[in-house]
Amino acid sequence: MKSIQTMACMALALVLGMGAITGCTARSWYEGNKMSAVNYCNHLPPGDVDQCLKGVNKQSYEEYEKERAGQQ
């Protein structure tokens, strides 16, 4: 069985991919998809919500951009 964090990461990746297709600005799709991941976490059983949210709230948009720029 997949861990909660793995499932949250997969959900976030799916949502981020969908945002890229719609043509939104990078910041708006990042923040919107982050909110979708938080919504997903909030629908988990009470004991799993905190762990899931820790995985979602790790990185600000600015940190994401720095990391992304360094990988190219």
- pLDDT value of position 64: 86
Domain membership of residue 34 as a residue range: 4-71
Predicted confidence at residue 49, as pLDDT, reads: 94
Number of structural domains in the chain: 1
pLDDT in tens, 12-67: 776 666 655 555 688 888 888 899 999 999 999 999 999 999 988 788 888 988 88
Angle, helices 4-22 vs 26-42, to 10°: value is 150
pLDDT at position 24, please? 61
